[in-house]
């Protein structure tokens, strides 16, 4: 009998921001802590993420092409493709080619369509990226837009008040019709309770809708969406069900926010992942998902 490595490998296509725990600096520690090998494919190199007042930005589109060509010629194989913040609209084509060339039928493709938050595009994000992202989600098994990104992908006007379950279910289904079997929408306000926030999800396989609701703390930390989707990716690769993955990701993100919230601190630095990474190896404590 041959003893072969059981470690699964995920390509993480995100920027490398050298300050603030976003993108690769969230995905790498989280996925590694969950027992997965991460192969980073950096999309851009920044001095810090774009919510700081100033940042440097090096677009790595050409280098990505060279890295992928090198991987192809050496026959490297991956079990999952996980994309986040892309450095230029042209990169979407590069990423689509990567997925089409490397993906095998059992592989997982997760697209976090990073575009903006609170009803606005991130600084420097071009409108053309929205167009391109609408194409990229067609190749995904799982997408994880926040509310802002959901409305951008659907080409609808942003709203965040008074969104009822039935209306959200239509939007989730509409996004799934474009390609991804699983659609997860984060940061949905709970009507009448500013202290709560929900995650909604739809799985076309089984035609079921899920909701996880957890406490909302009045602070904004960049990178929480990256942490959330990294846990979803790790959890699904470990073989968890969708509702369990939702619970694990919501709980981890909340733990990260809670462990950071009490400090005098510049929120731009993101959640203190270092304090909560080890929780990824303990069983889920409270299960809170609902079927809706």
Residues that bind ligand PXL (CB under 6 A): 15, 17, 22-23, 46, 49-51, 85, 114, 122, 222-223, 225-226
Using CA atoms, how far residue 83 sits from 104, 164, 283, in Å, is 17, 30, 27
Residue 170, SS3 per DSSP: helix
Q: What is the DSSP letter of 280?
A: G
- Among 183, 262, 259, which residue's Cα sits nearest to residue 224? 259
Residue 107 or 276: which CB sits closer to ligand PXL?
A: 276
Q: What is the DSSP letter of 12?
A: E
Minimum separation from the CB atom of position 25 to ligand PXL (A): 9
Minimum separation from the CB atom of position 133 to ligand PXL (A): 13
Minimum separation from the CB atom of position 79 to ligand PXL (A): 24
- Among 16, 99, 120, which residue's Cα sits nearest to residue 59? 16
Minimum separation from the CB atom of position 265 to ligand PXL (A): 17
Residue 60 or 211: which CB sits closer to ligand PXL?
A: 60
Residue pair 110/83 in contact (Cβ under 8 Å)? The answer is yes
Residue 49 or 248: which CB sits closer to ligand PXL?
A: 49
Residue 84 or 180: which CB sits closer to ligand PXL?
A: 84
Per the rule left: phi > 0, alpha: psi between -120 and 50, beta: everything else, 239 is: left
Minimum separation from the CB atom of position 286 to ligand PXL (A): 26
Using CA atoms, how far residue 271 sits from 136, 211, 274, in Å, is 28, 23, 9
């Amino acid at each position: 009998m041959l003893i072969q490595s059981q470690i699964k490998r995920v390509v993480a296509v995100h920027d490398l921001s050298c300050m603030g725990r976003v993108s690769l600096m969230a995905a790498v520690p989280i996925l590694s802590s969950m027992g997965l090998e991460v192969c980073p494919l950096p999309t851009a190199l920044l001095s810090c993420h774009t919510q700081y007042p100033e940042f440097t930005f090096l677009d790595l589109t050409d280098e990505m092409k060279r890295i992928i060509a090198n991987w192809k010629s050496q026959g490297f194989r991956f079990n999952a493709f996980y994309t986040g913040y892309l450095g230029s609209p042209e990169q979407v084509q590069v990423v689509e080619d990567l997925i089409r060339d490397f993906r095998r039928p059992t592989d997982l493709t997760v697209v976090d369509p990073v575009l903006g938050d609170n009803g606005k595009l991130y600084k420097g994000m071009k409108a053309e990226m929205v167009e391109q992202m609408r194409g990229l989600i067609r190749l995904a098994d799982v997408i994880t837009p926040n509310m802002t990104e959901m409305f951008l992908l659907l080409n609808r006007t942003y709203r965040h008040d008074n969104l009822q379950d039935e209306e959200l279910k239509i939007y989730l289904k509409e996004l799934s019709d474009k390609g991804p079997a699983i659609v997860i929408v984060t940061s949905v306000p709970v009507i009448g309770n500013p202290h709560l926030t929900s995650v909604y999800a739809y799985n076309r396989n089984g035609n079921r809708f899920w909701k996880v609701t957890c406490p909302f703390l009045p602070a904004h930390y960049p990178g929480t969406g990256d942490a959330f989707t990294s846990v979803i990716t790790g959890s699904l690769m470990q073989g968890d069900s969708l509702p369990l993955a939702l619970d694990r990701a919501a709980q981890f993100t909340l733990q990260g926010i809670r462990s950071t919230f009490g400090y005098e601190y510049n929120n731009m630095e993101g959640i203190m992942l270092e304090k909560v990474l080890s929780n990824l190896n303990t069983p889920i404590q409270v299960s809170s998902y609902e079927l809706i």
